[in-house]
Structure 1
């Protein structure tokens, strides 16, 4: 996610660019932010589905270390 510090760095980096180029960079940063948000949401949904399957006995439990490795925890 784009933190306030990251946002300030991006703005500082584009301040001397022509307006059109600066807007392209900012649009791309927004695209990356949206994509990251979508990927996180998909990971959350996938983890929730796995938990549901485990709770209903459709899936065997897996070791916590495997979960941490899979989801980067």
Structure 2
């Protein structure tokens, strides 16, 4: 028997914001992103599914501290 996992995502989430704060964020975020005022750090791990176990372990031991992408080839 084998299993294939697709679209695995780990995301932080908080519900501490008011509707007004969310509306203001949504209005400001797009322009800030287009202007380059927000930058999202990321790490791309090459090697496809073969690198997935090591990449997940590195994420959990904080080798990567930002978004991690495993490029499937």
Whichever of the two has the greater Rg, that structure is 1
Q: RCO (CA 8 Å, sep 6+): is it higher in 1 or 2?
A: 2
| TM-score higher than 0.5 | no
TM range (shorter): under 0.3
Higher strand share: 2
Higher helix share: 1
TM-score (norm 2): 0.26
